[in-house]
Amino acid sequence: MGLFGKKKQKTQGVLLLRGFPGDSNTNKCLLMAAEQGLRLETQLVDVTQGACESPEYRSLSPFGKMPCLKDGDFVISGAPAILSYIDIKGKGGSLNPKKASILGEQNYWVDLAQRIGDPAVQTLIQPLVPGCGDPGAAACAAARDSLGRVLDQLAALVADGRAFIAGQYSFADIHWTAIAHLCALAGEAKLIESRPGVQAWYGRAIKRTSATEGRPTYQALATLDEVRNKQLKPAA
Amino acid sequence: MADLFAFGSALNPLDAEGRYGAAGDLKKTQYVMQLLGFPGDPDTLKCLIIAAEKGIEVESGVLDISRGAERSDDYLAISPNGVVPALKEALYQVVGDLAIISFIEGRGLGNRMPPRNAQVLAEQDYWVDTARTVVGPQVRAIVQEKVVKDMADDAAQPNQAAVDAARAALAPALDALDARLAPGRFIVGEYSYADVHWTACVHLLMVAGQGDLIERRANLRAWFGRIRQHKSFCGQNLVAYDLLPSLEDIKALRMKGVVITDF
């Protein structure tokens, strides 16, 4: 390591992510790990069986936030914290833009993902997951409507020809790729495909290879079979 | 359509007397930032705190959400999803606490506030996430019942059952933070975004007459005492907490700005 080299803090061992394949936040963490070239072992937290409420899980995540990450003795839960941790621990540079205005734009889209995108896509994916119950046609229509309005704004944003949401690939793309992916799995691909700009952005996100290892990152996300069968694969 | 950012010095041309550029002053912020929010909204207060901590001048304008102004066409033109608050600097506009805090951080003075160590950064973000998703909704519910409700309707009475439910839902998070806080320290050790988010929430609990929730938890009470005296993170001679609105300020729709005198 040279005098001005960036020394990475080493992980304490194999990282273990506890999550659920139909959960957008779990998928964001898998995607970030792939982007940053970090290997994650995984363990299913079966939300359909109330595992988030179990004393064992609550001892790791006191407010039942999912997913949960363990690195040696260090345990942290919730997507914002885990994404920050992986971003720093990974092999590449941080995905956070350095310029204030671009950082603000990134976090605006992260905020919209959390406020609107996640709740909407969790409703839409629900009928696909055995044991999750049916949210009902009205709830699905409302979810489609709220998601559609934000996707309209995303379409307007990327109409200026930018490759990714904040220009460069950032946390915003991690959040919205996971949401768009679950939309597609839920049979709601029309929400993406009906907006050519969003479709083009999603196409770039799907084809993205990690800056650290040159491997496709999209494969880290849960497949339809994995969601249906409640299987969570490791991020290699 | 009205321009909701047409207040304060923005009403005058950039080269007008007293504005930047007129006297050739060189400041890091070429333009004064304008914050449009509501004094009883935790997200608005977080942005005010971070501006003071990072030495950024801010002029505050009030968006009266007690009367639904966040759903007006004028505001939706700024924030299409009605997210509050909104910030403007020259031609740049951004909305929501996450985006505004990071923008001010990038434009502000002094060291970076987010910790560099991965574990401490993750802990900061965990406590920010807890403030935003666990505590914030309950604080909003209490402020709505105890403060905002009768602003739009003098005859309105608080729904005590809703207040009690919010207090009960807050207890685990307040207990967790109380257990987490070490003597003389901030939430993750050094002052961080976690303190900014929790300060706004705890202040509004105090304003809404729920101070017993803090007083009965010794570590939380001591932390809040440190927060009330915390000098600006960037070395300015000001205390961010002093800018936060009182109950009377909220009722009168008054919100202070941030004035920086020492460059």
Cβ pair B103:A104 closer than 8 A: yes
Q: What is the pLDDT of residues B14-64, one digit of tens each?
A: 666 655 544 555 444 456 899 999 999 999 999 999 999 999 999 999 999
Q: What is the pLDDT at residue A5?
A: 44
Cβ pair B122:A65 closer than 8 A: no
> For residues A65 and B132, what is the distance between their CA atoms, to the nearest angstrom?
13
The CA distance from A225 to the nearest CA of chain B, in Å, is: 31
How many helices (H) and strands (E) chain B has is answered by: 11, 4
Which residues of chain A have a CB within 8 Å of the CB of B128? 80
Does any domain span residue B3? no
Check whether residue B130 and residue B94 sit in a common domain.
Answer: no
Give the N- to C-terminal CA distance of chain B in Å, as an integer. 38
Q: How many domains does chain A have?
A: 2
Mean pLDDT of the region B119-135: 98
Q: What is the pLDDT of residues B129-161, one digit of tens each?
A: 999 999 999 999 999 999 999 898 888 899 999
String of DSSP letters for A157-217 = HHTT--SBTBBB--HHHHHHHHHHHHHHHTT-THHHHTSHHHHHHHHHHHH-B-TTT--BS
Residue B181 structural domain: 118-229
Does any domain span residue B258? no
Check whether residue B79 and residue B145 sit in a common domain.
Answer: no
Cβ pair B126:A89 closer than 8 A: no
Q: Which candidate in A68, A95, A103 is best for mutational testing of the B interface (most B CBs within 10 A)?
A: A103
Check whether residue A156 and residue A88 sit in a common domain.
Answer: no
CB burial string B174-200: b at 16+ within 10 A, e below: beebbebbeeeebbbeebbbbbbbbbb
Could you identify the residue written with the tokens 């004035």? B259
Check whether residue A116 and residue A171 sit in a common domain.
Answer: yes
How many helices (H) and strands (E) chain A has is answered by: 10, 4
The CA distance from B54 to the nearest CA of chain A, in Å, is: 13
Considering only the beta carbons, identify the residue of B103, B129, B134 that sits closest to A81. Answer: B129
Does any domain span residue A119? yes
B109, B234 contact by CB (below 8 A): yes
Q: Which candidate in A60, A69, A82, A84 is best for mutational testing of the B interface (most B CBs within 10 A)?
A: A84
Give average pLDDT by consecutive 10-residue segment, chain A, 236 residues.
47 84 98 95 93 92 96 97 97 94 97 98 93 92 98 97 97 98 97 98 96 91 95 86
Considering only the beta carbons, identify the residue of A9, A89, A107 that sits closest to B98. Answer: A107
Does any domain span residue B257? no
User: Domain of A172: which CATH number?
Assistant: 1.20.1050.10
Give the chain A residue whose CA is nearest to the CA of B88. Answer: A101
Q: Does B222 touch chain A (CB under 8 A)?
A: no
Residue A84 structural domain: 15-94+213-229
Cβ pair A84:B129 closer than 8 A: no
- Considering only residues 164 to 183 of chain B, which have any Cβ-Cβ distance to chain A shorter than 8 Å? 172-173, 176
Check whether residue B199 and residue B139 sit in a common domain.
Answer: yes
Q: What is the pLDDT at residue B90?
A: 85
A113, A175 contact by CB (below 8 A): yes
ipTM of this complex: 0.94
Does any domain span residue A9? no
Check whether residue B127 and residue B146 sit in a common domain.
Answer: yes
Check whether residue A146 and residue A166 sit in a common domain.
Answer: yes
Q: What is the pLDDT at residue B26?
A: 46
Model confidence at B196: pLDDT above 60:
yes
- Give alpha helix (H) positions in A51-127: 55-60, 79-89, 100-112, 118-125
Cβ pair A9:B107 closer than 8 A: no
A99, B106 contact by CB (below 8 A): yes
Does any domain span residue B198? yes
User: Domain of B156: which CATH number?
Assistant: 1.20.1050.10
Interacting residues of A229 by C-beta distance below 8 A, sequence separation 6+: none
Does any domain span residue A8? no
Q: How many domains does chain B have?
A: 2
User: Which H/E stretch holds residue B165?
Assistant: helix B160-180
pTM, entire model: 0.94
Which residues of chain A have a CB within 8 Å of the CB of B134? 63
The CA distance from B19 to the nearest CA of chain A, in Å, is: 23
> For residues B213 and A10, what is the distance between their CA atoms, to the nearest angstrom?
40
Does any domain span residue B222? yes
Model confidence at B201: pLDDT above 70:
yes
Interacting residues of A16 by C-beta distance below 8 A, sequence separation 6+: A40, A41, A42, A43, A69, A70, A71
Give the chain B residue whose CA is nearest to the CA of A101. Answer: B103
Considering only the beta carbons, identify the residue of B94, B95, B126 that sits closest to A76. Answer: B126
Which residues of chain B have a CB within 8 Å of the CB of A77? 126
Does any domain span residue A189? yes
Give the chain A residue whose CA is nearest to the CA of B118. Answer: A85
Cβ pair A63:B118 closer than 8 A: no
String of DSSP letters for B63-79 = --GGGTGGGSHHHHTT-
Mean pLDDT of the region B87-111: 94
Using CB atoms within 10 Å of the CB of residue A41, give its burial: 0 to 12 exposed, 13 to 18 middle, 19+ buried.
Answer: middle
Give the chain A residue whose CA is nearest to the CA of B123. Answer: A81
Q: How many CB pairs under 8 A join A and B?
A: 102
The 8-class DSSP code of residue A114 comes to I
The CA distance from A101 to the nearest CA of chain B, in Å, is: 6
Q: Which candidate in B95, B102, B113, B197 is best for mutational testing of the A interface (most A CBs within 10 A)?
A: B102
Give the chain A residue whose CA is nearest to the CA of B119. Answer: A85
Q: Does B31 touch chain A (CB under 8 A)?
A: no
Which residues of chain A have a CB within 8 Å of the CB of B95? 108
Q: What is the pLDDT at residue B32?
A: 80
Cβ pair A76:B97 closer than 8 A: no
Residue A139: CA atoms inside 13 Å, Cβ hemisphere, count? 13
Could you identify the residue written with the tokens 């064992």? A56
Check whether residue A83 and residue A34 sit in a common domain.
Answer: yes
